[in-house]
Amino acid sequence: MKNILITGVNGQIGSELSEKLGALVGLENIVGMDLRPATPPYQITHETVDVTKKEALRQVIEKYNIDTIFHLASLLSARGEMNPDQTWEVNMTGLKNVLDLSRGKNIKIFWPSSIAVFGPTSPKENTPQNTVVDPNTMYGITKRAGELLCQYYAGKFHVDVRSVRYPGIISYKTEPGGGTTDYAVEIFYEAIRNKIYTCFVGGETCLPMMYMDDAVRSAIEIMQADPEQIKIRSSYNLAAVSFTAEELTAEIKKNIPEFKCNYAPDFRQKIADSWPKTIDDSCARDDWNWQHEFDLAGITKIMLEKLREKLKL
């Protein structure tokens, strides 16, 4: 990891991954790429490039002599349902471009998959690594197809690509955009601002979640692992903590007793219901020593503290 490219750098994960990688290899060795121009504090070199444009992507890779790509550019599950064609284009063409341009070049790739690869008939409890995958969103379909593409490129072209199936990611710096798990972030903003939140999934909805620091660390650790440790080249199940929307509300109430959460499920409920409640991530724990750090209480504490600072409330 000498010259690193992060696609989708303006997004929820990209903005924090760039900081952590900067601390590791030096900010001057990181290039951020996004459809949108750079956002402050402008710490790294930025290229405003669309990942579906292969030639433009090739030029960026060559210009900076890139040897590692964290390919994060993607449309998420809920927004993806508003525009399935664009989701296919960005998620699949983008990934295939990255894989193609890395063939024979010794470029190492991290690409996130998601719990969205699972679907209505996948087991919901302790969902195994290898089981029924029948995604029912375009996002989930692109993630599952992407996993198979990664495995294929690793086997056929020896591309060193590594991947994890992220659960919902909770963070305070950059808001998520268009995911089904976004309620687990929005709830903190509204608890602090208005002491009331209307949640778009029911209170009993239980989904796997992870705090951003754990998510970023998992990406860095899987990339630092020896190649022999990476026995799965599609994507690893990855887990930290699972809780219902009601349990999250109760945890917030310990800190803000007057907080009230109402539940008004919309189209995202069906997506949430098709995903696992809990995940068996023993392969990641065994193969490259994955361990999460933050539980529900820890996540709630840090989110409330940091958002109060950020919102000056």
Binding site for ligand SER (CB under 6 A): 76-77, 114-116, 139, 166, 168, 179-181
Neighbours of 42 (CB within 10 A): 10
Tell me whether residue 136 or residue 181 sits nearer to ligand SER (CB atom): 181
Indicate the residue type of 12.
Q
- Minimum distance between the CB of residue 79 and ligand SER, rounded to whole angstroms? 8
Shortest Å distance, C-beta 173 to ligand SER: 16
Q: Of 46 and 268, which CB lies nearer to ligand SER in the complex structure?
A: 268
Residue 63 Cβ vs ligand SER, minimum distance, rounded to whole Å: 31
Closest CB to ligand SER: residue number: 179
At its nearest, how many Å lie between ligand SER and the CB of residue 114? 3
CA 80 to chain centre: 15
Helix, strand or coil for residue 242?
Answer: strand
Q: For residue 124, how far is the Cα from the chain centroid?
A: 20
Output 68 or 113, the one with its CB closest to ligand SER: 113
Catalytic site includes residue 139 = yes
| Spatial contact of 71 and 94, defined as CB atoms under 8 Å apart | yes
Neighbours of 48 (CB within 10 A): 13
Closer to ligand SER by Cβ: residue 97 or 181: 181
∠ CA 51-55-59, nearest 5°, is 90
Rounded to 5 degrees, what are φ and ψ at 295? -100, -175
Q: Which of 139, 153, 197, 236 is catalytic?
A: 139
d(CA 288, CA 272): 29
Show which residues are catalytic.
Answer: 139
